[in-house]
Structure 1
Amino acid sequence: MKKDKMIRLFLVDDDALFLKSLEIEFTQNGNFIIETFRTGELCIENLSHSPDVIILDYHLDGIDKTAINGIETLDKINLSHPSIPVVMLSSQDSIEVAVNCMHHQAFDYIVKSETAFMRLQKIIETILHYKKMEKELNWYMERM
Structure 2
Amino acid sequence: MNKNKIKLFLVDDDAVFLKLLQIEFMEQADFDIETFATGELCLKSLSHRPDVIILDYYLDGVDRDAINGIDTLDEINALLPDIPVIMLSAQDKIDVAINCMHHKATDYVVKSETAFLRLKKIITTILATQKLEKQLTWYMDRM
TM-score after normalising by structure 1: 0.97
Q: Counterpart in 1 of 2:140?
A: 141
Gaps of 5+ in 1: none
Q: Match of 2:107?
A: 108
Aligned counterpart, 1:53: 52
**The residue matched to 1:78 in structure 2 has which SS?**
helix
**Alignment partners' CA distance in 2, 1:62 and 1:30:** 30
Give the Cα–Cα distance (whole angstroms) in 2 for the partners of residues 133 and 124 of structure 1: 14
How far the C-alpha of 1:101 sits from its partner, in A, is 0.3
Identity, in percent, stands at 66
Q: How far apart are the structure 2 equivalents of 1:70 and 1:140?
A: 37
Q: Deviating runs (4+, > 4 A) in structure 1?
A: none
Amino acid corresponding to residue 92 of structure 2 in structure 1: D
Amino acid at match of 1:7: I
CA RMSD of aligned residues (A): 0.9
SS at match of 1:11: strand
* Equivalenced residues, count: 143
Distance across 2 between alignment mates of 1:102 and 1:19: 22
Amino acid at match of 2:56: D
- TM-score, normalised by the number of residues in structure 2: 0.98
